[in-house]
Amino acid sequence: MSRIGKLPVAIPAGVTVTVDGDNVVVVKGPKGTLTQKVNSDIKVIVEPGVVKLERPDDEIAHKSMHGLYRALIHNMVVGVSEGFKLEMEFVGVGYRAESNGQMLEMSLGYSHSIMFELPAEIKVDAKTDKRSNPILKLESCDKQLIGQVAAKIRSFRMPEPYKGKGIKFIGENIRRKVGKSAGK
């Protein structure tokens, strides 16, 4: 039995979970609404206060889908009730980020600034204090979307291992390499 799949998903107050006829799970809460299509082999049962998932047999594909869809539904419930937050730090001389609505303008040491349009579901806040690195805060109810957007922003200037310059997540530990040692 899947250890993750057999765990019930608790539904907090203010969140409603419904399953449509085509096995589409809709989760509504104070932070927004999310939908997820579930494979027809996996049965989603909504009981008062909990959501349970059942699989027809012990095939490897069914076992993996069982845990996957339980985790996706759990992330949806947490997202619409609490939301997800990511903080990124811009480390480097002259690196900065400014947000104008859903447009993010970044200066990352290239000859041009990078303009990146964020999806409407994501709230952004760029903060720059004197004598500290710029911090970019992303908030959303969709864990998959916020992770994908953060990975795209990070890909514009990955942290390098010698000086640690680049875009990194707050709390992330960059493995540093030792540079060239002096000759003889």
Confidence of residue 1 (pLDDT cuts 50, 70, 90): very low
Tens digit of pLDDT for each residue in 124-158? 999 988 889 999 999 999 999 999 999 999 999 99
Q: Are residues 36 and 100 in the same domain?
A: no
Q: Tell me what pLDDT residue 130 has.
A: 87
Q: Are residues 103 and 152 in the same domain?
A: yes
Q: Is residue 176 part of a domain?
A: no
For the chain, what percentages of helix, strand and coil (3-state, to nearest 5) are there?
Answer: 20, 35, 45
Q: Are residues 27 and 39 in the same domain?
A: yes
Q: Are 66 and 42 in contact (CB under 8 A)?
A: yes
**SS3 state at 19:** strand
Residue with tokens 């990352």: 108
- 49-67 CB burial, b ≥16 within 10 A, e <16: eebebebeeeeeebeebbb
Q: Is residue 178 part of a domain?
A: no
Q: Is residue 180 part of a domain?
A: no
Q: Are residues 63 and 88 in the same domain?
A: no
Q: Are 32 and 15 in contact (CB under 8 A)?
A: no
C-alpha distances out from residue 171 to 89, 136, 168, Å: 9, 13, 8
Range of the domain at 32: 9-81
Tokens at residue 74, please?
């759990």
C-alpha distances out from residue 92 to 3, 7, 89, 107, 133, Å: 44, 44, 10, 10, 8
Q: Are residues 149 and 133 in the same domain?
A: yes
How many folded domains does the chain comprise? 2
Compute the chain's Rg from CA coordinates: 21
Tens digit of pLDDT for each residue in 10-61? 999 999 999 998 899 999 999 999 999 999 999 999 999 999 999 999 899 9
> Model pTM?
0.88
Q: Are residues 96 and 153 in the same domain?
A: yes
| Burial of 70: CB neighbours in 10 Å, binned 0-12, 13-18, 19+ | buried
Q: Are residues 56 and 98 in the same domain?
A: no
Q: Tell me what pLDDT residue 4 has.
A: 85
Q: Are residues 58 and 94 in the same domain?
A: no
- 141-150 CB burial, b ≥16 within 10 A, e <16: bbbebbeebb
Cα 165 to Cα 126: distance, rounded to the nearest angstrom: 18
Q: Are residues 88 and 155 in the same domain?
A: yes
Q: Are residues 67 and 111 in the same domain?
A: no
Which CATH number goes with the domain that contains 33? Answer: 3.90.930.12
Q: Is residue 1 part of a domain?
A: no
Domain ends where: 64, 81, 98? 81
- Residue of 84, 76, 85, 83 lying closest to 10 (CA atoms): 76
